[in-house]
């Protein structure tokens, strides 16, 4: 009996399992069919139009067109004027209800239209835009757009192709379009021309006593310093008159004291003064060389001779200057850099030609750089001086390495193009000179083989506004170099008291100054000048001549090459490639 009951229960459970397995797929399929039909109805395309129709009428027309039930909340009111042509139902509902600050909720078979809260933002579709950056820096544009996008926006950059991909709301994308269009434009350029001159002036002092043997010794004591001497002589017996022209040349010549011409003619030819005689008057430190040309003519009656001499003071330029420290910056200017401005009406080449003619000016460099607006042009005219440096790492022995110190001219210019043809320049010049070198040593007493340099440097950081084509002049870095020399007569120069009479002392002072001319010109579009265009058009480049191969020329027969001939050729080639025996 019990076994029958157990068998009955077992059969009952199996029947229930079979029924459940058969019914479940039908239920799931029905649900999927219902959902699928609801989604398909939202995608139904409708074509309708309304003019000042209540929103209730519009919703009823949409429900009938898509064959779906729509329920409206009483808070949704207003009139609709719209026309939809072959658009999906969900898109038509979204746009119509968005105007009335409303939205919809779709269920399985129905659509519920409700009012949005006042603070709830409207849902705006997102758009993806790809920007190709041509002129601007893609990294800077990426940073600007990244700060500009909304919280839900996404942005990415492809540096290899300069593309920026942005996904954001529609109003943000429109603003980004305008931003990229304005900043991605051809940037004007500025031509920076720099001329660096080394201006050298020299001063000298020389004390060189000389001894002469003559029957008319030089007068002792200070020499007179007449500015003008006139002597008039009248002789009724002479029949000759003299006309004289005097040329004065200022120069520093070591030698005799000034000797003024005597009243008598210095030379006679056949009893008359020599018309071609030349007088020279020497000086002490800065004398005057005087050239006198005389012409004698015969005149009836008496002869009147008038002589006029204009002489500078022999002590005017012979004073000894104060001593300076050799190799240091100018103590008067203190090494201060001066900045001047040349107007564009001044011819820079004319100014430089005058500089060349008046002083010893040497052009060190004349670089030209075309730089973008707001970018920095760096000019370096330096000498790298090596020296040794040590680095202590823990308790280990110090590590030495060679470092370099740049000595010379380092000039940085950053232009900014303003309005009305004006340029704002950020100029950072740095001038340095090597004074000396000092040896260095480590803690254990190891002396460095490369001494460390001692450098005097001057640096200025300034901003100035100039017009297109004007020139800035930087100057003031002066350096004085003093060199002294003594030459003497052996034995006699070592005698007490009078030994100084047999010594010659010289002292020369060289003043060097770096002068930098900076000219800036705006280049909106780099093009050829008329002369360059003419040269380019007159230049003809002949294309390379492509000759035919030996096979194309038919130098080889079409017959088949024997295998033995190929083997012999390979053997010959291998023999030539073999290394020569030692």
| Per-residue pLDDT reduced to its tens digit, 176-212 | 999 998 888 888 889 998 888 888 776 655 555 555 4
Q: What is d(CA 367, CA 565) in angstroms, rounded to the nearest whole number?
A: 64
Residue 62, burial from CB neighbour count under 10 angstroms (0-12, 13-18, 19+): buried
**pLDDT over 60 (residue 561):** no
Closest CA to 246 of 296, 289, 298, 303: 289
CATH 3.30.1370.120 maps onto the chain at 126-185
**pLDDT over 90 (residue 166):** yes
Count helices and strands (H / E) in the chain: 9, 26
Give the CATH fold of the 126-185 domain.
Ribosomal Protein S8; Chain: A, domain 1 (3.30.1370)
Share of the chain above pLDDT 70, in %: 55
pTM score: 0.44
**pLDDT at residue 412, as a whole number:** 92
Helix, strand, coil: what percent of the chain each, to 5?
25, 40, 35
**pLDDT at residue 16, as a whole number:** 58
Q: Show the DSSP H helices in 160-304 as ranges.
A: 170-183
Span 288-309, average pLDDT: 48
**pLDDT at residue 266, as a whole number:** 47
Report the run of H or E that residue 553 belongs to, with start and end: helix 550-553
**pLDDT at residue 10, as a whole number:** 66
* pLDDT band for position 403 (cuts 50, 70, 90): confident
Q: Show the DSSP H helices in 43-88 as ranges.
A: 55-66
| Per-residue pLDDT reduced to its tens digit, 216-244 | 444 444 444 444 444 444 444 444 445 55
CATH 3.55.50.30 maps onto the chain at 2-115
Longest dimension (CA), the chain: 193
Q: What is d(CA 494, CA 488) in angstroms, rounded to the nearest whole number?
A: 9
**Identity of the highest mean pLDDT range in 48-62, 218-232, 452-466:** 48-62
Residue ranges of E strands in 310-376 = 328-329, 338-342, 360-365, 368-372
* 3-class SS of residue 437: strand
Residue 447, CB-side half-sphere exposure with 13 Å CA sphere: 4
Of 249 and 396, the one with more pLDDT = 396
CATH class of 2-115: alpha beta
**pLDDT at residue 459, as a whole number:** 82
Residue 223, CB-side half-sphere exposure with 13 Å CA sphere: 22
Of 441 and 256, the one with more pLDDT = 441
The mean pLDDT of the chain is: 69
| Per-residue pLDDT reduced to its tens digit, 260-294 | 344 444 445 454 444 444 444 443 334 344 445 55
Q: Which of 118-127, 256-265, 342-351, 546-555 has the lowest mean pLDDT?
A: 256-265
Cα–Cα distances in angstroms (integers) from residue 249 to residues 132, 262, 270, 288, in the given order = 74, 20, 31, 6
Strand partners, 86: none
| Eight-class DSSP state of 527 | -
Q: CB–CB of 398/442 below 8 Å?
A: yes
Report the run of H or E that residue 355 belongs to, with start and end: helix 348-358
- Residue 285: which residues within 8 A CB-CB, separation 6 or more? 205, 206, 207, 252, 254, 314, 317, 318
| b (16+ CB within 10 A) / e for 280-299 | ebbbbbbbbebebebebeee
Closest CA to 470 of 522, 538, 524, 414: 522
Closest CA to 425 of 411, 441, 439, 444: 411
**pLDDT at residue 223, as a whole number:** 43
Q: CB–CB of 514/475 below 8 Å?
A: yes
**pLDDT at residue 486, as a whole number:** 77
């Amino acid at each position: 009996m019990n076994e029958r009951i157990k068998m009955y229960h077992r059969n009952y459970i199996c029947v229930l399992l079979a029924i459940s397995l058969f019914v479940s797929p039908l239920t799931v399929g029905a649900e999927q069919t219902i959902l699928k039909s609801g989604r398909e109805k939202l995608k139904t395309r409708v074509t309708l139009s309304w003019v000042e129709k209540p929103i209730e009428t519009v919703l009823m027309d949409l429900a009938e067109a898509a064959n779906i039930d729509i329920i409206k909340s009483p808070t949704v009111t207003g009139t609709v004027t719209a026309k939809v042509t072959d658009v999906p139902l969900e898109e038509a509902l979204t746009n119509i209800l968005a105007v009335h600050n409303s939205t919809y909720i779709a269920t399985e078979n129905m659509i519920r239209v409700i009012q949005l809260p006042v603070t709830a933002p409207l849902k705006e579709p997102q758009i993806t835009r790809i920007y190709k950056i041509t002129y601007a820096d893609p990294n800077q544009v990426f940073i600007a757009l990244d700060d500009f996008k909304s919280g839900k926006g996404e942005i990415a950059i492809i540096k290899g192709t300069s593309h920026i991909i942005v996904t954001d709301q529609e109003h943000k994308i429109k603003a980004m379009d305008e931003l990229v269009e304005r900043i991605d434009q051809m940037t004007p350029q500025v031509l920076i021309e720099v001329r660096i001159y080394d201006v050298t002036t020299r001063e000298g002092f020389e004390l060189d006593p000389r001894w002469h043997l003559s029957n008319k010794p030089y007068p002792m004591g200070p020499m007179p310093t007449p500015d003008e001497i006139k002597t008039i002589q009248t002789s009724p017996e002479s029949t000759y008159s003299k006309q004289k022209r005097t040329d004065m040349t200022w120069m520093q010549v070591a030698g005799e004291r000034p000797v003024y011409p005597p009243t008598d003619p210095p030379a006679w030819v056949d009893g008359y003064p020599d018309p071609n005689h030349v007088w020279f008057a020497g000086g002490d430190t800065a004398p005057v060389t005087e050239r006198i040309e005389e012409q004698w003519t015969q005149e009836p009656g008496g002869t009147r001779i008038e002589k006029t001499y204009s002489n500078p003071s022999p002590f005017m330029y012979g004073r000894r200057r104060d001593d300076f420290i050799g190799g240091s910056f100018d103590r008067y200017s203190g090494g201060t850099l001066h900045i001047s401005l040349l107007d564009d009406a001044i011819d820079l080449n004319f100014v430089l030609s005058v500089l060349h003619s008046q002083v010893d000016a040497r052009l060190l460099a004349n670089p030209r750089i075309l730089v973008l607006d707001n970018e920095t042009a760096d000019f370096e005219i330096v000498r790298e001086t090596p020296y040794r440096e040590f680095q202590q790492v823990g308790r280990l022995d110090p590590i030495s390495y060679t470092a370099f110190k740049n000595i010379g001219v380092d000039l940085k210019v950053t232009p900014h193009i303003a309005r009305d043809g004006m340029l704002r320049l950020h100029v950072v010049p740095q001038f340095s000179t090597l004074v000396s070198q000092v040896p260095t040593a480590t803690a254990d007493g190891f002396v460095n083989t490369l001494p460390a340099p001692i450098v005097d440097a001057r640096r200025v950081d300034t901003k100035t506004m100039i017009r297109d084509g004007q020139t800035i002049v930087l100057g003031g870095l002066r350096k004085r170099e003093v060199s002294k020399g003594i030459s003497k007569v052996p034995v006699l120069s070592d005698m007490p008291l009078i030994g100084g009479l047999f010594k010659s002392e010289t002292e020369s002072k060289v003043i060097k100054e770096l002068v930098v001319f900076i000219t800036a010109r705006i280049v909106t579009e780099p093009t050829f000048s008329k002369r360059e265009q003419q040269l380019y058009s007159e230049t003809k480049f002949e294309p390379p001549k492509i000759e035919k191969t030996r096979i194309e020329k038919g130098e080889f027969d079409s017959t088949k090459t024997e295998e033995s001939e190929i083997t012999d050729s390979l053997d010959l080639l291998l023999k030539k490639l073999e290394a020569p025996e030692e």
